């Protein structure tokens, strides 16, 4: 049974706020046929003009949804004042598995009372205004996206793609989310923010001088992966290798190893039932406490919290 994903738009919506997430789910559906049924909706069905003048065809509002994704844009403030739209969002949120907003779409969620007492984010330029207008919302302006229970919010415009990749990962697994990101030519998990992280794509894992080495590293994370070992694998002297690797990838070999371990550990923490100490051992952290500290630095949460969130 396909998951019903509804995309709510309104006059003067931001085109990419809708098209980005729509495209991400569509591409994920290519890898898992039948996974999703996508529908663009508006309070007044028909051709809806975006703030860029280009329009998008929309059907009638649908309440039988797995996930509702609300676009943002300069028309968000006006749309949030519509009593019918507000009531619709409240009804759907009470039934749907997830409700999400892109950029200033957070205003529609806030007006519906769905962000009261919750962590949320929006475009950095509108964060202060959102906090002032809705003081019960716990706004985190530096986040790419935030999940608080069944409510997800994202930062400006292209962050809607980051949000969608996280939703896809929750539905279909990290591998499908990664493949979707590669097709879109975007980060799997964009660097920056407490919950964001990327590894192979950011480090040039899809091409470049050390592509093969990076793939090999990811398959041998349980080994020490010292500079000497990696340099020998690359047939280079340790000093030359360290300089060349940093110039190519933008980080030291040690940092690259940690990031690959973190990416793999997070996937196993969220997708498997393996004990945390076993995950730490198999990805090369060894000590669970060492992995916990690394998770806190990269994601802002310990492994156990990410596992609970993934299964909520």
Residues 157 and 236 in one domain: no
Q: Which pLDDT score, from 0 to 100, does residue 311 have?
A: 67
User: Which contacts of 34-40 are long-range, i.e. CB under 8 A and separated by 24 or more positions?
Assistant: 34/2, 35/2, 35/3, 35/171, 35/172, 36/2, 36/3, 36/4, 36/5, 37/2, 37/3, 37/4, 37/5, 38/5, 38/7, 39/4, 39/5, 39/6, 39/7, 40/6, 40/7, 40/9
Number of domains, the chain: 2
Q: What is the mean pLDDT of residues 1-12?
A: 97
Asked if residue 286 and residue 178 are part of one domain, the reply reads no
Q: Please tell me whether residues 150 and 250 are part of one structural domain.
A: no
Distance CA 66, CA 165 (A): 16
16 shares a domain with 87: yes
Say yes or no to pLDDT of 214 above 50.
yes
Catalytic residues: 103
What span, in angstroms and rounded, lies between the C-alpha atoms of 146 and 120? 6
Is residue 286 in a domain? Answer: yes
* Position 197 pLDDT exceeds 50: no
How many contiguous H segments (helices) and E segments (strands) does the chain have? 14, 10
Residue 190 belongs to some domain of the structure: no
CATH number at residue 262: 1.10.10.60
From 6-15, 89-98, 161-170, 193-202, the region with the lowest mean pLDDT: 193-202
pLDDT band at 207 (very low <50, low <70, confident <90, very high): low
Whether residue 242 lies inside any domain: the answer is: yes
Do 180 and 219 sit in the same domain of this protein? Answer: no
> How would residue 193 be classed by pLDDT, with cut points 50, 70 and 90?
very low
Q: Looking at per-residue confidence, does 249 or 77 come out higher?
A: 77
Mean of all residue pLDDT scores within the chain: 89
User: Which distant-in-sequence residues (6+ apart) come within 8 Å of 176 by Cβ?
Assistant: 28, 31, 32, 168, 169
Query: Is residue 194 assigned to a domain?
Result: no
Over 90: is that where the pLDDT of 115 sits?
A: yes
Please say whether the beta carbons of 123 and 104 come within 8 A: yes
pLDDT at 196: 39
Q: Are strands 55-58 and 46-49 parallel, antiparallel or unpaired?
A: antiparallel
pLDDT of residue 192: 42
Asked whether residue 119 is assigned to any structural domain, the reply reads yes
Q: Mean pLDDT: which of 47-61, 238-252, 290-304 is highest?
A: 47-61
Residues 147 and 239 reside in one and the same domain: no
Compute the average pLDDT of residues 142-168: 90
Does the pLDDT of residue 194 top 50, yes or no?
no
> Reduced to 3 states, what is the DSSP secondary structure of residue 41?
strand
15 close to 50: Cβ distance less than 8 angstroms: yes
Domain that residue 99 falls in: 3-184
For residue 172 the two structure tokens come to 């279909």
Residue 58 in this model has a pLDDT that exceeds 80: yes
pTM of the shown model: 0.64
Rg (the chain; Cα; Å): 21
By C-alpha distance, which of 197, 186, 115 is closest to 152?
A: 115
Establish if 189 belongs to a structural domain: no
């Amino acid at each position: 049974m396909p998951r019903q994903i509804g995309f709510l738009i309104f006059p003067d919506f931001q085109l990419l706020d809708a098209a980005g997430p729509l495209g991400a789910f569509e591409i994920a559906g290519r890898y898992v046929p039948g996974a999703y049924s996508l529908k663009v909706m508006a309070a007044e069905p028909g051709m809806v003009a975006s703030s860029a003048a280009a329009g998008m065809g929309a059907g009638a509002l649908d309440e039988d949804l797995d996930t509702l994704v609300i676009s943002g844009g300069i028309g968000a403030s006006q749309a949030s004042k519509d009593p019918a739209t507000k009531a619709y969002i409240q009804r759907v949120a009470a039934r749907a598995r997830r409700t999400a907003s892109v950029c200033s779409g957070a205003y529609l969620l806030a007006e519906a009372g769905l962000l009261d007492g919750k962590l949320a984010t929006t475009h950095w330029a509108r964060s202060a205004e959102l906090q002032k207008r809705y003081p019960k919302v716990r706004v985190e302006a530096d986040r790419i996206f935030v999940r608080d229970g069944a409510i997800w919010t994202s930062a400006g415009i292209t962050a809607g793609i980051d949000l969608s990749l996280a939703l896809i990962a929750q539905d279909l697994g990290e591998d499908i989310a990664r493949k979707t990101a590669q097709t879109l030519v975007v980060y799997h998990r964009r660097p920056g923010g407490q919950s964001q992280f990327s590894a192979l794509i950011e480090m040039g894992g899809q091409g470049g001088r050390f592509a093969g080495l990076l793939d090999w590293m990811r398959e041998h994370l349980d080994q020490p992966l010292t500079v000497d070992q990696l340099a020998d694998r690359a047939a280079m002297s340790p000093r030359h290798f360290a300089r060349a690797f940093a110039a190519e990838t933008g980080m030291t070999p040690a940092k690259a190893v940690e990031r690959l371990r973190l990416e793999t550990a997070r996937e196993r923490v969220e997708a498997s039932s393996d004990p945390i100490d076993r995950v730490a051992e198999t990805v090369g952290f060894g000590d669970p406490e060492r992995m916990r500290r690394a998770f806190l630095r990269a994601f802002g949460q310990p492994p156990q919290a990410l596992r609970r969130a993934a299964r909520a």
